[in-house]
Amino acid sequence: MRRTLPNNKEERLDLLKQKAAELPDFVWIPDFVSISGSTIFAEREPNDLDTVIRMEGIDSMLTLKLKRVLEETLGASPHIILEPAGPNWSYLPIYDLVLRKKSQFIVQEIEEPEFKEKLYHQRAASEKVLAEAKKSFEENRLEPFRFYLPMKPTRITLPGQRQIVDRFCSYFSEDDFPILNSKKYDGMHIIIHRKGNRVEIWTEDGSEVTNSLPSLIKEILKLTPSDFIIEAELEQWLKDIHQPREAVAAKLHRTTIESDDDLIANVFTCVYLEGEDLHKKTEEERQKALSSIGIDYSTFEIPDLKHKLNLVPNLRCGKVAELKESTIRLRYLPASEGVVAKKADSIYFLDGDSKEGWIKFHNSATLKARVIETIETKTKGIFNYRYGILPGSYQFKQADLKEDVIEVGKTFSTSTKCQRGDIIEIEFETFNITHNEKMDYYTVSAWAPIFLNALGRGTPNTVDEVVERAEKEHILQEKVITEEGATVYL
């Protein structure tokens, strides 16, 4: 018999919560995931792990998580097979697809807390710009000269595991292809709006920098369509020497306007063209739109700065082997930080999160360091570590030395507990070393220091060893503070 729910909201919610606790769990699809093939019946060592999923189609997030679990637990790379009828060989069922009721019943108010957190980090943005980003998100719509949160590629990490090319390629399943793979440029992410003769340029954090880029605007106005929104990575080059992102940011935010002859905008997508919002279309469609706007220069080598716009080349990959080959090629190109792999069918989300439609691989290296201090975070059992390495042949201020090591920084969070004096392994994406010529001492830091492993007791690396590793992986950033106080990037 149909139950009538109370008219009073509070009584109705109380009743719903009470009755929801009585809901049964049940199996929707039994034997949803099974191991089959030669792993089960062959006398020889199998080539891979045939993993059958009882569905016609499945989203890439589930296949990615399933691959990770099976690789970590069983030590074998799964070969995903979609078959609604289930395995046609002997098989070992390992998962049922189950509907499980929640342990607590709490009404979820939709206030977009994650989006609010992303807005919080737009610290350079005015209240007007933040309101525009929120409106673009809530309406799920783009319009010229209205700010929105630009989408960032996902960096997928696994606890204790290096970011290497094979691991990166293993994130992708067959149904993720084709993939558009491009060099990861090291600059400042900008959004370019044009309508007619009006052009506005914004940084990803909500700062308008239009007035700082007169040469770039001049070239933008030469493009055939007069109504578009494109995104680019703005780089600085001085005599074929690439300058880091911090140099570009410093240049754009100076109060006096300087020549922008040393800058180039590497344009990588088009999200709006001639009155049409393209963010809900696929990246492949956006790339076709981008290729139609008339940018006639395209390179991933050292750029010719007589051009202000560079159309970012994409290498189209139809399978994992092609993705691996292109990643190896692209990651060591001039000034490359790694690659950004975009699924050709990915759409563009206006909350800044690519939902793993775009995945980045960042060049990296590792170092062995000594724990200087263990810092437990507000979350019990989660730790950060201040860490240091041996000075080697480099001269440091005595105040920067902690016993016999030079402090490099603080790790990202980890659940692994270590003690002061322990040796830990850290993966990093950039190693910065600065020489103060006037005082003749060095300072060092490492960006994105991810805790990998606890190594017990032993000897940390020297600065010399870390510099050598970083240089080999193209992630060494050297700079000099001259006696006159100028900063020179090497």
Instruction: Dump the DSSP string for 209-234.
Output: -GGG-HHHHHHHTTSS-SEEEEEEEE
User: Cα(280)–Cα(85) distance, rounded to whole angstroms?
Assistant: 34
Render pLDDT for 322-331 as a digit per residue (tens, 0 to 9).
999 999 999 9
What is the signed CA dihedral for 218, 219, 224, 225, rounded to 10 degrees? -70
User: Cα(411)–Cα(383) distance, rounded to whole angstroms?
Assistant: 9
pLDDT at residue 239, rounded to an integer: 86
Contact (CB, 8 A) for 88 and 61: no
The CA angle 442-446-452, to the nearest 5 degrees, is 140
Contact (CB, 8 A) for 383 and 417: yes
Instruction: Provide the sign of the torsion angle of the four alpha carbons 278, 197, 310, 365, taken in this order.
Output: negative
pLDDT at residue 61, rounded to an integer: 60
Burial (CB count within 10 angstroms: exposed 0-12, middle 13-18, buried 19+), residue 380: exposed
- For β-strands 383-389 and 430-436, DSSP reports them as unpaired
Contact (CB, 8 A) for 424 and 369: yes
Note down pLDDT in tens along the chain; length 490 residues: 455 677 777 777 778 877 888 888 888 888 999 998 888 877 777 767 888 888 877 665 677 677 777 877 887 778 888 888 888 878 899 999 888 887 666 665 444 455 555 665 565 677 888 899 999 999 999 999 999 999 999 988 777 788 899 999 988 988 899 999 999 999 999 999 999 999 999 999 888 999 999 999 999 999 999 999 999 999 999 989 999 988 998 888 777 778 899 999 999 999 999 999 999 999 999 999 999 999 999 999 999 999 999 999 999 999 999 999 999 999 999 999 999 999 999 999 999 999 889 999 999 999 999 999 999 988 888 999 999 999 999 999 988 888 899 999 999 989 899 999 999 999 999 999 999 998 999 999 999 999 999 999 999 999 999 999 999 999 999 999 998 888 888 8
Q: Is the peptide bond before 178 cis (omega within 30 degrees of 0)?
A: yes
Closest to 190 (Cα-Cα) out of 209, 215, 212, 170: 209
Q: What is the DSSP letter of 244?
A: -
DSSP three-state, residue 380: coil
Top-level class of domain 365-489: mainly beta
Give the architecture (CATH level 2) of 138-359.
Answer: 2-Layer Sandwich (3.30)
Q: If you count them, how many residues does the chain have?
A: 490
Contact (CB, 8 A) for 436 and 479: no
User: Cα(61)–Cα(354) distance, rounded to whole angstroms?
Assistant: 12
- Would you kindly state where each structural domain of the chain is located, as residue ranges? 22-99, 138-359, 365-489
CB atoms within 10 A of CB 417: 12
User: Cα(406)–Cα(394) distance, rounded to whole angstroms?
Assistant: 10
Contact (CB, 8 A) for 259 and 270: no
What's the token pair of residue 318? Answer: 């139809």
Contact (CB, 8 A) for 418 and 371: yes
User: Looking at the DSSP assignment, which residues form a beta bridge with residue 152?
Assistant: 353
DSSP three-state, residue 394: coil
